[in-house]
A and B are shown apart, each in its own frame.
Chain A
């Protein structure tokens, strides 16, 4: 195995996710603003926010412990490792080191676990509320995610994400019905995991609606910047999974500059389209009641199980 190429892939992919992910946070905001006949923030606003937060002082609650200080770092570390698992523009050579889809999922779960703990750490009511809701929702979405991943594993006969992308790229069927079903479920998973309407509302700080925002309410300064950055990265990673499964065209396994540039362009184009779709989807529905959410998850689970049954009988 060529370790150098693997390391180069890892660094490039990670830097790509790290640097590009905030872009899509602002992009979705712009789309939503336009849907409401507003102008919305500049495209680079999320970067400016992060830079501003890094310059600010960090305020810790007197109740809080080292959990509060460690959580932002654990989050960034877990998501950075997870970012090695989802090739965005270059598919690495086959390797066992990264790519296990279950490990990918549990790295995200690890970030979430510590985020929920930090929500309880300051002793504020809002944080606890956020943690409690977040853990409830994540518990309910988990069967969906696993069944969707199992469907992907069945469809591609592997549990390694890069291998799935390679298979998807090599497949000569333009659009496979199984992949479409998987994609719908994956889309719902993106909505849930990146805390978007109708599950959560990223715009408000109202105690009745917020989940994710409530958990990180007590974070400030550089720590808040890390939390924001890691959720942006997580969103891009999940978008990357959907894009490279459904429309892997342009993705490359070569290390030539030309192929990488084409792949980069193609990915950005597809991601922008997906971000617009997410923004429009968010604008078109209302925040649903917390206890109505299991219905939405049931739809995703239903689709995933249908996929599996098609796989079984095909």
Chain B
């Protein structure tokens, strides 16, 4: 069965890639796009069945495909960890494919729609193959295909200035990631003499260097702070189905890589501290930056940074506890991190897809121009709310369970009996709690300002509910948010794990039971009289949307309290009618928030690189003879090096 499902999935992906390319040449755009996405759904279904079979039966599946030389081979091995990530990729891609059938039709250019569909499939299949890879060579090969295909997808509206900036940003960052991974793999190769993942041997110094490179490589791709800047640029610029895939799935592939290599290399405690520190920083800064965003997609992008942080906190705890010899707690933390990876993939794709629907309906990404959409797009609103509640970690939804697991691991940190580690863990715990509460605040803002009260613009007033398929896709994920939360304990026991978690099915049943009971009791006991009236307009004849609280107003207390992080600068100018400054005429007020990392880290580095490359530029004359001479010289130098060492 397994031997059949995996190739079936790949074959369906192949069709899904080729069909729209052919279609756009023969002028059968729409039909081929739909056929292609249906093939994607079939492929995801096959991969999902394949992966679930492995996850539940805990076996492994290996496949050897092709080798260039014995070192450079394409070989695949899917064990339980890889299958878990394949499940994640397949589930989210399935929902996104359904959503995309309607969504891609909103793009303007006919040919571009086909390209988006085709590249989207290359992107998905490359992620599947990265996770399935057994040799580091094929891992890196598909990793690069994943990077390139996603770059092309980000650039799909390439004529926009904003997209060009985002594209370059993403291109540079993703290649830095590949570069570090390449270094790491070469380091490991020098020790082991093979690219096989199964044969990594212990060698403390080399593995530590390799770990740092791996951490940088995967960290950049996962978007940990300070390498996060590409996320808030790339997500708003790309189509929403692509954002859903990139944020929901692609950054999880980086998490997979990190966890995979951590399990292969002999770990050291300081790695755990490094991962924990990076995770904590990303989590709290991610959510703090999210709070000030009013661009719905950028807000979600910052939340991805936050959630990657939470995942890394779990991974860091795993390393620390496992090296201290507390396997049970370590495993709880790792399971929490993995479960949060799945949960985040689900609710973040859900949120990106529903926000794509909103952006389509209103023509803006600025939530200050939205409002009142719950009445105009009730289904999208409900789906977004489920996503918001899950990401805010409210019970009994899935986000809560995974954060609970990480909290519970934290709560046992006194067993470590190492004051230094404990102080680190306690500080991290406090920051983690802050993160989780700020996320709730941020999603009250995101949901409240976008969907509730009166519409703040004509476009929002005219907004219409999305087509059916753009509801069904996200609805699958919303149902999973509920199911994975409520059935978490049962799911873990089916998989053969027992964690000391509360039974969320019981809590969920109680919550809904009390809800219904209170409703019924109030119908019996209380007055049933109801009246619809206007909200008090503060003395004005009618209430307008200008009287509502804005998103900036909503986040103002937190921005003020955390002003040292935002480096808030408030400027105000006032003009008066009289020269004594009594009768106010008009004025101007500005709040400027500093882009700390961009201004202090990225730009200085970019400037140095620019200076150096201008120098290097002198070597490039565009003269073919000269370039051939360079190539010749290079070969000679290499031969000399080889001769010297041989």
Contacts and interface: CB of A to CB of B under 8 A. Distances in A.
Interface of A: 54-67, 73-74, 76-78, 80-81, 84, 96-98, 100, 102-103, 106-107, 109-110, 112-113, 116-117, 119-125, 127-129, 131-133, 135-136, 138-143, 145-147, 149-150, 153-154, 159, 218, 221-222, 225-226, 290-291, 294, 301, 305, 308-309, 311-313
A135 B414 contact: no
A128 B555 CA distance: 11
A139 B414 contact: no
A257 B525 CA distance: 31
Most B C-beta atoms less than 10 A away, residue of A64, A112, A123, A124: A123
11 contacts: A73-B522, A77-B518, A100-B501, A110-B394, A113-B392, A113-B394, A116-B448, A124-B548, A138-B437, A147-B426, A153-B412
Contact of A102 (B408, B445, B529): B408
A78 to B, nearest CB: 7
Contact of B452 (A121, A135, A312): A121
Contact of B510 (A81, A125, A139, A142): A81
A146 B407 contact: yes
Contacts of B534: 61-63
Nearest to A229: B518
Given A100-B404, A128-B554, A141-B437, 12 more contacts: A57-B530, A66-B374, A81-B510, A107-B395, A113-B444, A116-B441, A121-B453, A123-B545, A128-B549, A135-B558, A136-B557, A308-B422
Contacts of A124: 535-536, 543, 547-548
Nearest to B536: A124
B430 A122 contact: no
A98 B503 CA distance: 9
A58 B531 contact: yes
Interface residues of B, number: 82
A131 B449 CA distance: 11
Nearest to A106: B395
A103 B535 contact: no
Contact of A125 (B433, B436, B511, B548): B548
B447 A117 contact: yes
A313 B375 CA distance: 57
A143 B433 contact: yes
B452 A305 contact: no
A97 B502 contact: yes
Given A62-B532, A67-B374, A81-B514, A116 B444 contact: yes
A136 B441 contact: yes
A54 B414 contact: no
Contact of B422 (A63, A129, A226, A312): A312
Contacts of A113: 389, 392, 394, 440, 443-444
Nearest to A83: B514
B332 to A, nearest CB: 12
A109 B440 contact: yes
B507 A142 contact: no
B519 interface: yes
B519 A73 contact: yes
A222 B520 CA distance: 12
A221 B526 contact: yes
Nearest to A112: B440
A308 B426 contact: yes
Contact of B549 (A73, A120, A145, A225): A120
Most A C-beta atoms less than 10 A away, residue of B512, B531, B554: B554
A206 to B, nearest CB: 14
A146 B433 contact: yes
Nearest to B441: A135
B507 A132 contact: no
Interface in B333-389: 371-372, 374-375, 389
Given A63-B543, A65-B375, A128-B549, A120 B453 contact: yes
Contacts of B430: 143, 146-147, 301, 305
Nearest to B504: A103
Nearest to A155: B414
Contact of A136 (B407, B511, B561): B561
Contacts of A60: 530-533
B538 interface: yes
Contacts of A98: 502
A28 to B, nearest CB: 25
A228 to B, nearest CB: 13
A226 B440 contact: no
Contacts of A138: 437, 440-441
A146 to B, nearest CB: 4
A97 B441 contact: no
Interface string B80-96: 00000000000000000
Contacts of A290: 557
